[in-house]
A and B are shown apart, each in its own frame.
With several copies, the nearest count.
Chain A
Amino acid sequence: MTLLTRIPGLTLKNPIMPASGCFGFGREYSELFDLNKLGAIIIKAATLESRYGNQTPRVAETSSGMLNAIGLQNPGVEAIIDNEVSFLANYDLPIIANVAGSTVEEYVAVTKAFTRTANIDAIELNISCPNVKEGGIQFGTDPTLAAEVTASVKQASKVPVYVKLSPNVSNITTMARAVESAGADGLSMINTLTGMQINLNSRRPLLANKTGGLSGPAIKPVAIRMIYEVRQQTSIPIIGMGGIMTAEDVLEFLLAGANAVAVGTANFHNPFVCPEIIEALPEVLAKYGFSSVEQAVGKGHEYGHKDLSRT
């Protein structure tokens, strides 16, 4: 049984990495377990300047999920490189930097800043941010804008670029094909679905930002569907995410076509979930007849053995 996973720029001991924004820069979790156990780490979104983010409350619980509106709080790319990437460089752990911005220029500047350190192995391009120049349209819901920012970042980057797709679109394959054509080395999907919760006492949206991103098991069926659809129409690798809680969930993502996976919200439920999934994965793969991670990728698209009838 091998968990070894190879995708552009990344040779992973195993296909499990914490999702961006759900693991900070790894410091807190490094006090709980050895980060070297992870396949990789996707760090919190970086912008050019430091950002305070949204007002609180920033999170709300929903049925089998949660809403968040952190608002990209981060100390800015330079501080991240100096204080956080340097810390993570002590580990034998591929680092994926999540890049955010409000203009193409900002995305490019953040990407260029990251190229100053040799410790970033890949860029995850977070196109779910509103484009201030285009009046707030999200890069992630317009294929032309998405292709444009992808091409520019790709040019600025020395490492492979994974474009993180937003699920808030009518047609995910159009988005995926647009960024693939623009040069994306891989895809990361899905980001959160936009949602809201209204507090009955205050008669207001509970989050200070009103809307927030829905994550957790609630959205897993949407993630699986989108990955399955995109797998049939693109050929670049996919880092899958959205509601993963267990090693069985990981296998479902692999079958759908993900090459590796990220775990987000589950870290809040159980801070040890990543190492626990990594530990459980070999047995689960074996149980369902696989002897490696790579063997399982995309197998949900073939007709396998039939639903075993139970006697």
Chain B
Amino acid sequence: MNKTSVTIISKKIIAKETIELTFHAEGYVNQISPGQFIHINVGNGSSNLLRRPISIADVDVDSQIVTIIFKIVGVGTDQLSRTEVGDKLDILLPCGSGYPINQLELDRALIIGGGIGVPPLYYLAKQLNKQGVAVTAVIGFQSKDYVFYESKFKELGNCHVVTDDGSYGFKGFVTDLLNDTPIDYDYFFSCGPTGMLKAVSTQLKNRNGYISIEQRMGCGVGACYACVVPTNDGTNGFKKICKDGPVFQANEVVLV
């Protein structure tokens, strides 16, 4: 994990309230595995002391460029949305443990993303695709206005878009689509709101898979115990989301 100051090289509104930023992170990108996050100082003097965790959505190793995607939901992401090309960002990276894809034997992967849980799955899908894995993505959003990266996922394999209100693609939740549509896969990989992760883990409880979860963070480095989640093995154990996670085996931890 490193602390560095990066310069924003592009900024794009890719969906409603959803912003894509890219920056150079020379020398750091080779360490990044899909599922890891960066921990961002959103600035504003000492008003906002806690950094904000945002997943790494894409990495271009050749150009050493990192992409993040975030939704404006509060003061920190609002502030982040006001940064402009050329502005500096003070970040920690890479943080946490990503999807252990190098240790897995798989030919077909199912990606299940919801809302701002979709970004880390894009870099994952890209890496899987590079390794010759067949990727099917199921990505859910509130409504049509919030949909992003459909075509990017389509470049990598199959992609089903689901919206809560049916304003685009399949109407319902990602789990409804999974019920309706037979998909072959060896492992699933999911990230999204806790409710979705619970539904997915329950529905796919007999399958191998990984999920990525969120919690409010203090340090982001594993020192403060703000982000713990109980393990599911009956030992009263726990994991730190910022350090041991955010990626866990499905059913390894208790979703609260």
A and B touch in the complex (CB under 8 A): yes
Contact B227 A56 (CB under 8 A): yes
The yes or no answer to A70 lying at the interface (CB within 8 A) is yes
Check A170 for interface membership: any CB of B closer than 8 A.
no
Contacts of B92 in A (CB 8 A): 271
Binds B, one of A17-25, A177-185, A226-234, A251-259: A17-25
Q: Report yes or no: A21 in contact with B224, Cβ–Cβ below 8 A.
A: yes
Q: Main secondary structure on chain A at its contact with chain B?
A: loop
B48 within 8 A of A: yes
On chain A, the residues within 8 Å of B142 by CB distance are 311
Given contacts A28-B223, A56-B215, A59-B216, contact A309 B49 (CB under 8 A): no
- Binding-face segment, B21-29, B189-197, B203-211: B189-197
User: Is A94 in contact with chain B by the CB < 8 A criterion?
Assistant: no
The answer to whether A52 has its CB under 8 Å from any CB of chain B is: yes
Q: Is B243 on the interface with A (CB-CB < 8 A)?
A: yes
Q: How far is the CA of A266 from the CA of B229 in the complex (A)?
A: 24
Whether A311 lies near B114 (C-beta < 8 A) is: yes
Give the residues in chain A near B141, CB-CB below 8 Å. 311
Chain A residues with Cβ below 8 Å from B230 are 52
A102 part of interface (Cβ distance < 8 Å): no
Assess whether B223 is in contact with A23, with CB atoms less than 8 Å apart.
yes
Of A7-15, A60-68, A279-287, A295-303, which stretch is located at the interface?
Answer: A60-68
| Contact flags A261-285 to B (C-beta < 8 A → 1, else 0) | 0000111111110000000000000
Known: A267-B223, A310-B115, A311-B140. A64 touches B217 (CB 8 A): no
| A88 CB to nearest B CB, Å | 13
Interface residues on B, range: 35 or more
Whether B223 contacts A59 by the Cβ 8 Å rule is no
Does residue A118 face the partner (Cβ distance < 8 Å to B)?
no
Instruction: Tell whether, in the assembled complex, residue A68 and residue B226 are in contact, meaning their CB atoms are under 8 Å apart.
Output: yes
Q: Are B46 and A63 in contact (CB under 8 A)?
A: yes
A53 within 8 A of B: yes
Instruction: Note all chain A residues with C-beta closer than 8 A to B3.
Output: 32, 270-272
Query: How far does the alpha carbon of A245 sit from the alpha carbon of B222 in the complex, in Å?
Result: 20
Q: Mark B224-241, 1 if CB is under 8 A from A, else 0.
A: 111111100000101000
Give complex CA distance A217, B47 in Å: 9
Partner of A309, one of B41, B193, B218, B220: B193
25 A–B contacts, CB within 8 A, in A order: A23-B223, A24-B225, A28-B221, A28-B243, A29-B223, A52-B230, A53-B225, A55-B256, A56-B216, A56-B229, A57-B226, A59-B217, A61-B48, A61-B49, A61-B76, A70-B225, A217-B49, A268-B49, A268-B219, A268-B224, A269-B49, A269-B51, A309-B194, A310-B71, A310-B73
What are the 8 tightest A-B residue pairs by CB atom distance, in nearest-first order? A24-B223, A309-B193, A311-B115, A59-B226, A28-B222, A57-B216, A309-B195, A28-B221
Given contact pairs A32-B3, A70-B224, A311-B114, enumerate 20 new A-B contacts (beta carbons under 8 Å): A28-B222, A32-B1, A52-B228, A56-B226, A59-B50, A59-B217, A59-B226, A61-B48, A61-B49, A63-B45, A63-B47, A64-B46, A66-B50, A68-B218, A70-B225, A73-B238, A269-B41, A269-B46, A269-B51, A310-B115
